[in-house]
Amino acid sequence: MQILRVLSISFCFGIIFSQSVHAELGKTTLNRCDRNNAKTSVTLSTLQQGFQVNNSYTSKRLNTRSRSSRAGDFVIGLTSLESKTMIDVEGSIWDDTDTGGECFAANVKIQIIYEPIEVFIGSEFREGSCTYEAILSHEMGHVRLYQESLPKIKTIISTLINQRFSGSPIYAPKGKSRQLLETEIDTLWRPLIKSELAKVQIEQNELDTDEQINQLTWQCLGEVQSKFGFRFN
């Protein structure tokens, strides 16, 4: 059983310009950027901070932390993750007085961070006991899925970013390049990162089918069934 909470993602990156914008700026800006070897660079990194196990909450109290359980259910185990994305955008902008345009050699740094993953096991189950270990083993499946997902997300986003920019500078009317960058951040890249993180949740749900949970509750001589009957999650 698990939760995925995605914190608000700050700046992402990128700019989409129509061919008419490029034509409007002309060759002068392009030549100037070429002379300065101006290019847009994007660096994407990830950070994982492990996991921690908490055995201090009762299964009834864990119900308040779960998004899928019903009122009155006992949540015997839960894995929770918070993620955040930090974006830093810098770079040089060159003006071209002849065309009234500018080119922006943006230097974009993106970091997707997984906060320490929290694994909760109901306090009714003593650490080291058979049921505790069975629940922990199940929750570790969620932990591994989270940990394995981050490199995959990095690869997907990095590939799309490289296709988008290809090292080229950003061209725009004077005073508009940074604004256009932020627009693309809000409308394209931020939703894309959120979408990739949300896909992990779908995979997580596949680990919590009714059949898998039922098998777990009958382990260790059916201790969970004995304590809670069918009111568990």
Chain segment 83-126, per-residue pLDDT in tens: 999 888 888 888 877 777 888 888 889 999 999 999 999 999 99
Q: Is residue 222 classed as helix, strand or coil in its secondary structure?
A: helix
What per-residue confidence (pLDDT) applies to 11? Answer: 25
pLDDT for res 231: 54
Q: Look at residue 85 in the predicted model and tell me its pLDDT.
A: 92
Alpha-carbon dihedral angle through residues 13, 19, 23, 29, given to the nearest 10 degrees: 20
CA distances from 137 to 87, 113, 128, 146, 214 (A): 35, 24, 12, 15, 15
Question: Which pLDDT does position 110 carry in this prediction?
Answer: 92
Provide the pLDDT for residue 3.
35
What is the CA 104 to chain-centroid distance, rounded?
A: 28
**Alpha helices for the chain (secondary structure H):** 19-35, 59-62, 130-165, 177-184, 190-205, 210-217, 219-228
**DSSP three-state, residue 151:** helix
Task: Give the residues of the chain that fall short of pLDDT 70.
Answer: 1-36, 67-72, 230-233
3-state DSSP assignment of residue 17: coil
* pTM of the predicted protein model: 0.78
Query: Rounded to an integer, what distance in angstroms lies between the CA atom of residue 75 and that of residue 1?
Result: 8
Specify the pLDDT at position 24: 37
Domain boundaries, the chain: 2-226
Task: Say what the pLDDT of residue 125 is.
Answer: 95
Rounded CA gap, 185 and 193, in Å? Answer: 10
